[in-house]
Amino acid sequence: MSDLKKMGRLALRVEGNLWCAYYALPGTMADAIFLGSIRLQFVEDAERKLVFMALMKEAVGDILEAKTGERPQWPEGEQPAPEHERGGNA
């Protein structure tokens, strides 16, 4: 999907002992919408991590569908965060 088609993204960040999810515009965290968080200990298991990510993708889908009438199509696999947003711990 080209950048022109990207309406936003799911941004996941480690903040203290939480894994936090945000809806953010491409390339920036300015004005990001907080979606939810979970204690890191609960997503150490790969299956639980995927379940949390799926729930947050559904939340983003709900936001975009309400605004545009379309649900987003997610790319396959994990997408790396923009270089300027990468921390050392995720």
Q: What is the pTM of this model?
A: 0.79
> Does a structural domain hold residue 47?
yes
| Separation of alpha carbons 70 and 50, rounded Å | 23
Provide the pLDDT for residue 87: 64
Domain count, the chain: 1
* 2 is a domain residue: no
Task: Determine contact, residues 13/59, Cβ cutoff 8 Å.
Answer: no
Burial grade of 8 (CB within 10 A; 0-12, 13-18, 19 or more): middle
- State the residue range of the domain holding 21: 9-71
Q: What are phi and psi of 15, to 5 degrees?
A: -130, 100
Q: Going residue by residue through the chain (90 aa), what tens digit of pLDDT does each one get?
A: 444 457 788 999 999 999 999 999 888 899 999 999 999 999 999 999 999 999 999 999 998 899 889 888 888 877 776 777 766 544
Residue 21 lies in a domain: yes
What pLDDT is stored for residue 2 in this prediction? 43
- Pairwise CA distance, residues 1 & 21, whole Å: 22
Q: What is the pLDDT of residue 33?
A: 95
Whether residue 25 is contained in a domain is answered as yes
Structural domain contains residue 88: no
76 within some domain: no
